[in-house]
Amino acid sequence: MGVSRQAFYQGQRRHAQRESRGQAVVRLVRDWRVRQPQLGTRKLHHVLRDPLAKAGIELGRDAMFDVLRNAGMLVPQRRAYHKTTDSHHRFRRHPNLLKAGEQQLCVTASEQVWVADIT
């Protein structure tokens, strides 16, 4: 396999340490998320810096993102919503002459109807 026995077992030990560290971080995050469910990972990293240091766990922000992503605990980002149309303004609105109704125009040739949009 091209890997020495020592490197194989060191890799297994590192993987086990990483798993146990991830489980400890997930437990701490669950405790915080009970009180504040929408607390993001950056703030959690800042808040949990001291408890993690007391537990002897060194974990950077990006590694915490990876741990929480693998555990399915990332807070979904809210999509930005911008209201761009105000249909209930005080200005006069021109009627839609092509819409079905009593004033509907019947188009019979090209260039009878022109459309403009100010957006």
Q: Could you state, in order of their start, the residue ranges of all structural domains in the chain?
A: 5-71
Percent residues over pLDDT 90 in the chain? 49
DSSP 8-state code for residue 36 = -
Whether residue 102 is predicted with pLDDT greater than 90 in this model: the reply is no
Whether residue 119 is predicted with pLDDT greater than 70 in this model: the reply is no
pLDDT of residue 115: 80
Structure tokens, 39:
């607390």
**Alpha-carbon span 13 to 15, nearest angstrom:** 5
Across the chain, mean pLDDT equals 89
State which H helix or E strand residue 12 sits in: helix 5-35
Whether residue 17 is predicted with pLDDT greater than 70 in this model: the reply is yes
Whether residue 58 is predicted with pLDDT greater than 70 in this model: the reply is yes
Residue 69 binned pLDDT confidence (cut-offs 50, 70, 90)? very high
Closest CA to 77 of 41, 23, 118: 41
**Contact predicate 31/51, CB 8 Å:** no
**Alpha-carbon span 67 to 71, nearest angstrom:** 6
The sign of the CA dihedral 25, 73, 38, 41 is positive
Mean pLDDT of 23-44: 91
Closest CA to 74 of 82, 60, 64: 64
Q: Taking the model in full, what pTM does it have?
A: 0.61
